[in-house]
Structures are given as C-alpha cells and as structure tokens.
C-alpha cells in the first residue's frame, strides 16, 4: 500500500512545479484577456441572435396551429 505524502512535502512539490511554469508577461496577459472578452461577446451575440430567431419561428409556428 502506498504511503500518503505529508502536507509539507506536498506543498513543497507544488512550489517546485510552479517555479517551472513560464508565466505570461503583463502585456501578454492583457492581450489574452481582451481576446477572450471579445470572443465571449461575439459568441454571446451569435447565440442571442439564434435564440431570438428561433423564438420568433416558434411563435409563428404556434400561431399557425
């Protein structure tokens, strides 16, 4: 049966792994955040338009029946 590592060892291993990470610069982080924000707006707008159109189509179909 495997032994569980103690919490100090666990935290130390996490710190070691985080030191290996290549963190983005402030400029890169800002650009990536802006990109995600703009893409969310575009996708949200697209979904909103599709939702609106499908609601109108359903409205027309239910009035016909």
Query: Per the domain annotation, does 53 fall within a domain?
Result: yes
Q: Which pLDDT belongs to residue 65?
A: 62
Q: Is residue 2 part of a domain?
A: no
Residue 35 to residues 7, 19, 28, 56, Cα–Cα distance (Å): 38, 27, 10, 32
Residue 2 has pLDDT above 70, yes or no: no
Residue 17 inside a domain? The answer is no
Judge whether 50 lies within some domain. yes
Instruction: Give the up-direction half-sphere exposure of residue 63: CA atoms within 13 A in the CB hemisphere.
Output: 6
Q: Is residue 12 part of a domain?
A: no
- At residue 64, the pLDDT reads 79
Decide: 63 and 55 in contact? Cβ < 8 Å. no
**Which range of residues forms the domain containing residue 47?**
24-65
Residue 26: predicted pLDDT: 97
Please state the domain count of the chain: 1
């Amino acid at each position: 049966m495997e032994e569980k590592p103690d919490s100090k060892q666990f935290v130390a291993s996490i710190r070691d792994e985080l030191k290996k990470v290549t963190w983005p610069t402030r400029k890169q982080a800002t650009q990536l955040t802006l990109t995600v924000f703009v893409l969310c707006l575009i996708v949200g707008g697209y979904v909103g338009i599709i939702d609106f159109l499908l609601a109108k189509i359903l409205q027309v179909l239910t009035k016909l029946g």
